[in-house]
Amino acid sequence: MNGNDSSRQAPEVEASVDYAAAPAGSPIVIDLQDVVKVYDLGGSQVQALKGVTFKVRAGEFVAIMGHSGSGKSTMLNLIGCLDRPTSGRYLLDNIDVSRMSRGALADIRNRKIGFIFQNFNLLQRTSVWENVELPMLYAEIDKHERAARVRHALEVVKIPHKAKMHPNQLSGGEQQRVAIARSLVNKPAIILADEPTGNLDSSTSGEIMEFLQTLNREQRITLVMVTHETDIAAYAERVTVFKDGLILREYRNESS
Amino acid sequence: MSFRHVWIIFKMSLRALARNKVRSFLTMLGIIIGVGAVIAMVSLGQGAQRQVQEEIASMGTNILYVRAGSMRSYGVHTGSGSLNTLTPDDIEAILRECPSVQLATPNASSMAQVVYGNQNWSTRVEGFNEKFPEIRNWPVDKGEFFTETHVKTAARVVVLGKTVADKLFPSGDAIGQMIRIRNLPFRVLGVLSRKGENSWGRDQDDTAIVPYSTIMKKLLGGINYIQQAMISARSPRATYTAEVQVKSLLRQRHRLGSFQEDDFSVRNMGDIAETYEATNRTMTILLGSIAAVSLIVGGIGIMNIMLVAVSERTREIGVRMAIGARPGHVRIQFLTESIVLCILGGLLGISLGVIASYAIANFLMWPTLISSWSIMVSVIFSISIGLFFGYYPAHKAASLDPINALRYE
Ligand SMILES: Nc1ncnc2c1ncn2[C@@H]1O[C@H](COP(=O)(O)OP(=O)(O)OP(=O)(O)O)[C@@H](O)[C@H]1O
Ligand SMILES: [Mg+2]
């Protein structure tokens, strides 16, 4: 897969990547080195990532952009330890996780990573409170601590009064707040968001982005977000653009 | 995984089941019916077995039956034409010469019409000697039993079983009345106490007892042999010795050479009990296995529903995995769900089985006996079924790839 593959001829693109754009002095938490991801569909193979090197420093807010099918979600899933690279290395907090077992990856997701999805992915017929509590059940956190953290997380996302409701009784924006609360309760170092505003109208999108930005700035949570809307990407400090499974270019947003 | 964690997952499973109450109940139905059937069927078999045991104990374990004719297997006469080998003299000799024998009575019987006034009834008329109440442990209720003199003189006297007495004398007192048996007048001396049905359903009170000499001379056309004799040993422990003594005496009296088969057969209550118990055991096993098959069908139903649940909840599984559920957590959760279904179904099934066996005892009047081991076995069986049939769906859930699970529509 590596090396002399003719489809990987974009050296000038990779050279333009500016890792130094990250906050000076912060350690690198996400370190993907020459990562390839191939999906095997019973005979035909899809090369979703063709050798990507990508680093994120602690406390950064990075947006990933690109056309549909360019490999953004694949990338985010690898970062989130939901999947393992076909080849290449992935160091998370300086630990190589690219060959870890499914169980070990689950523990890493549980303790270090919070996920936010486009379609919220809340458990249906399960109350808001229970949804937010869920990651802590797998972390074996005791009851009183769980209750305190759920209460706090719901206050942070400003929906403490919806605790008893079920997801289908909430608006899209409220559901995404619940998802954010759920991603926060295990105090993750990294939050990964795949098109978090994709199902929301523009004003609700703005509110959700304000939240995420505040989390990043005040709690120094590293944030990697996939989006294909430029104005959403504008909330990030750095933007990485994908094309056909490779990084096309990277740039910093001056305003942030 | 700590105990507290297992508890948390257990509660998650309960919650998942509670979300789909009707479906959970329908899923359990197979187990409920299966366990209920096992318990009811086994209780039926056990009840019948105990009844036979009790009955045999009440008849006395020291009783021997001697029958004319050889018998290769129980109930099948073989030596044809040799049914006239046993005589009242043989019985006299047994009483005289077998030290372990305490009491003995010849026995001959015939079906006959008994008539009093315009009441008439067909019953088994049985001949014994005066020792009958003692040997059978069956006292008279009213009046008295016939005496040795009655037997010696072949007197036309009769002691009625309760059923016959009730049929012939629905309102009045039977004692001292003259009834007709096969058109011969007999004087009623007494009425036996109630004995009830025996375990194979025959009404033991449907009988009329007369001296055996009377039945031989007056009802069976003057024959001088008897069909059978009932003998009691001095104690239950002496039964075997008595049997040996009776056999050798009869062989001697019948002048059988050492290579000739017995022309009579001796059976003790233990043999009889064993025959019935073996039949009963076969029935219990048969009914039990039919019920067990339904239990397995119930288990397959659970597997089916759990597989449906896994594919229905694929997305939920993906979400759980994304936020940190290990494959083991998912496996345990689904396994717990099917085990909980089975245990709950098992408990409801036990209640159903217990209710059913009470209903059988009260409405069908069949004896039932619920044994604690059948309940224990059902519980263990249900848990095993939950584990066995729940494992595959749980394993399937645990092996899901989180990304594919999250993308599942
Ligand atoms: N689980 C999978 N199995 C097979 N192929 C997949 C899988 N996931 C992604 N792919 C393929 O990999 C390529 C990249 O997909 P990916 O989901 O990363 O794109 P994306 O950039 O997120 O697109 P979009 O903006 O539409 O979400 C696509 O060609 C897609 O068909
Ligand atoms: Mg995508």
Q: Do B323 and A111 touch (CB under 8 A)?
A: no
The verdict on residue B69 lying in a domain is: no
Q: Which of A101, A86, A105, A70 is nearest to A32 (CA)?
A: A86
Whether pLDDT at A104 is above 80: yes
pLDDT at B61: 75
Last residue within a domain, chosen from B206, B228, B262:
B262
Does B43 fall in a domain?
A: yes
Residues B232 and B299 in one domain: no
**Helix, strand, coil shares, percent, chain B, to 5:** 55, 20, 25
d(C-alpha B83, C-alpha B220), whole Å: 14
From the alpha carbon of A245, which atom of ligand 1 is closest?
14
Helix (H) or strand (E) holding B31: helix B21-59
Model confidence band, residue A227 (pLDDT cutoffs 50, 70, 90): very high
B376 and B311 both lie in a single domain: yes
> Residue B219: its pLDDT value, please?
85
Nearest CA to ligand 1 atom 6: A39
* Cα B294–chain centre separation: 23
User: What does the pLDDT read at residue B226?
Assistant: 87
State in Å: Cα A76 to ligand 2 middle.
Answer: 9
Q: Are residues B106 and B48 in the same domain?
A: no
Q: Which residue has the higher pLDDT, B123 or A19?
A: B123
CB pairs under 8 A between A and B: 64
Q: What is the pLDDT of residues B8-17, one digit of tens each?
A: 888 888 888 8
- pLDDT for the residue numbered B78: 46
Residue A144 and residue B257: Cα distance in Å, rounded? Answer: 95
- Choose the mutation target among A39, A40, A46, A121 for the interface with B, i.e. most B CBs under 10 Å: A121
What is the CB-side half-sphere exposure of residue A242 using CA atoms within 13 A?
Answer: 29
| Residue B175, phi then psi, degrees to nearest 5 | -60, 130
Residue B26 shares a structural domain with residue B136: no
- pLDDT band, residue A10 (cuts 50/70/90): very low
Residue B51 belongs to some domain of the structure:
yes
Q: What rounded mean pLDDT belongs to chain A? A: 89
Residues B257, B280 within the same domain: no
Domain count, chain B: 2
- Those residues whose C-beta lies under 8 Å from the C-beta of residue A255, and which sit 6 or more positions away, are A234
Name the residue type at position A165: M
Q: What is the pLDDT of residues A121-166, one digit of tens each?
A: 999 989 999 999 999 999 989 899 999 999 999 999 999 999 999 9
**Considering only CB atoms, which chain A residues are within 8 Å of B8?**
137
pLDDT band at A106 (very low <50, low <70, confident <90, very high): very high
Please report whether residue B98 resides in a domain: yes
User: Which residues sit with their C-beta closer than 6 Å to ligand 1?
Assistant: A 39, 41, 46, 48, 66, 68-74, 228; B 403-404
Q: Which of A132, A97, A98, A158 is nearest to B323 (CA)?
A: A132
CA distance B297 to B289: 12
Helix (H, G, I), strand (E, B) or coil at B109: strand
| Cα–Cα distance measured from residue A248 to residue A15, given in angstroms and rounded to the nearest whole number | 10
**pLDDT over 70 at A255, yes or no:** no
Q: Which domains does chain A have, with CATH numbers?
A: 3-252 (3.40.50.300)
Specify whether B317 is located in the same domain as B238: no
Does residue B393 share a domain with residue B313?
Answer: yes
Percent of chain A at pLDDT > 90 equals 84
Does this model's pTM top 0.90? My answer is no
Q: How far apart are alpha carbons B390 and B392 in whole angstroms?
A: 6
Other CB atoms closer than 10 Å to residue A230's CB: what's the count?
10
Give a yes or no: residue B60 inside a domain: no
Largest Cα–Cα separation, chain B: 103
Residue A47 predicted with pLDDT over 90: yes
Q: Of all helices (H) and strands (E), which one includes residue B289?
A: helix B269-312
Question: Which domain does B287 fall in, by range?
Answer: 3-55+275-407
Give the model's pLDDT for residue B79. 44
Does residue B218 lie within any of the structural domains?
yes
More confident: A33 or B46? A33
Question: How confident is residue A4, by pLDDT bands cut at 50, 70 and 90?
Answer: very low
| pLDDT confidence bin for A2, thresholds 50/70/90 | very low
Which of A57-71, A79-93, B282-296, B347-361 bottoms out in mean pLDDT, i.e. has the lowest?
B282-296
pLDDT value, residue B350: 93
Record: contact B324-A102, CB cut-off 8 A: no
Q: Is pLDDT at A16 greater than 50 in this prediction?
A: no
d(CA B313, ligand 1 centre) in Å = 22
Q: Are residues B129 and B15 in the same domain?
A: no
Contacts of B4 in chain A (CB under 8 A): 140
Q: pLDDT at position B71, please?
A: 57
- A3-17, A63-77, A141-155: range with lowest mean pLDDT: A3-17
Does the beta-carbon distance from A121 to B329 stay under 8 Å?
Answer: no
Q: Are residues B258 and B281 in the same domain?
A: no
Write out residues in chain B with pLDDT < 70, as ranges: 1, 58, 70-83, 199-201
Q: What is the dihedral of CA B29, B33, B38, B43, to 10 degrees?
A: 130
Is B331 inside any structural domain?
Answer: yes
What's the CA gap between B58 and A239, in Å, rounded? 96
CA of A68 to the centre of ligand 2 (A): 7
Q: Do B321 and A139 touch (CB under 8 A)?
A: no
pLDDT of A8 reads 43
Q: What pLDDT, on the 0 to 100 scale, is given for residue A14? A: 43
Phi first, then psi, for residue A224 (nearest 5°) are -120, 125
Among B200, B230, B262, residue at a domain's last position: B262
**pLDDT-based confidence at residue A23 (cuts at 50, 70, 90):** low
pLDDT at A22 over 70: no
How far B5 CA lies from chain A's nearest CA (Å)? 6
Reduced 3-state DSSP string for chain A: CCCCCCCCCCHHHHHCCCHHHCCCCCCEEEEEEEEEEEEEECCEEEEEEEEEEEEEECCCEEEEEECCCCCHHHHHHHHCCCCCCCEEEEEECCEECCCCCHHHHHHHHHHHEEEECCCCCCCCCCCHHHHHHHHHHHCCCCHHHHHHHHHHHHHHCCCHHHCCCCHHHCCHHHHHHHHHHHHHCCCCCEEEEECCCCCCCHHHHHHHHHHHHHHHHHCCCEEEEECCCHHHHCCCCEEEEEECCEEEEEEECCCC
Of A102, A126, A140, the CB nearest to B5: A140
Q: Are residues B216 and B123 in the same domain?
A: yes
| pLDDT for res A212 | 94
Set of chain B residues whose Cβ sits within 8 Å of the Cβ of A116:
none
pLDDT at B283: 81
Final residue of a domain: which of B212, B229, B262? Answer: B262
For A175-209, the pLDDT digits (tens) are 999 999 999 999 999 999 999 999 999 999 999 99
B207 and B118 within one domain: yes
Q: Is residue B74 part of a domain?
A: no
Domain identity same for B112 and B256: yes
Strands laid side by side in the A87-92 sheet: A44-57, A28-41, A87-92, A95-96
Percent of the residues in chain A that have a pLDDT greater than 70, as a whole number:
90
> What's residue A62's pLDDT?
97
